[in-house]
Amino acid sequence: MFGRQNRTRMIITGALIGSATGSILTFLLTPKTGKELRTDIMDNVDTSLTKIKDTTEKFYSKVKDSTVTTVNRVQSALSAGVNTYKTESQHIKTSKEILEDTLKGGGNNTHANI
């Protein structure tokens, strides 16, 4: 899970750096008027922001789904553990009662009871 967060963080960072680099290179290498250049830069920034937003939303959705799945699995495991504990404690209680009866001399056929 931590690896996915780190990977997404790297993608977002890369998108930001790429957007900034692209905007700077466009500014330096394009023989356009100031107004055209500003329009192009804003378009690049808007496109980059949209990509970052989409990536962030996908990441959030995956983390949310993963969290819900993990919580459900943990709840199922806990429920199974509680049920097993209850069953085993009942077996222990029954075995204890049989053993106590046997020790008191009350059970002649103890192997059949266990």
Statement: residue 112 has pLDDT above 70: no
Asked if 25 contacts 44 with a C-beta cutoff of 8 angstroms, the reply is: no
pLDDT value, residue 2: 56
Q: Which two tokens stand for residue 110?
A: 């103890």
Reduce the DSSP state of residue 31 to 3 states and report it.
coil
pLDDT value, residue 110: 47
Dihedral (Cα; 40, 43, 49, 52), 10-degree rounding: -80
Statement: residue 51 has pLDDT above 80: yes
Find the mean pLDDT for residues 97-110: 74
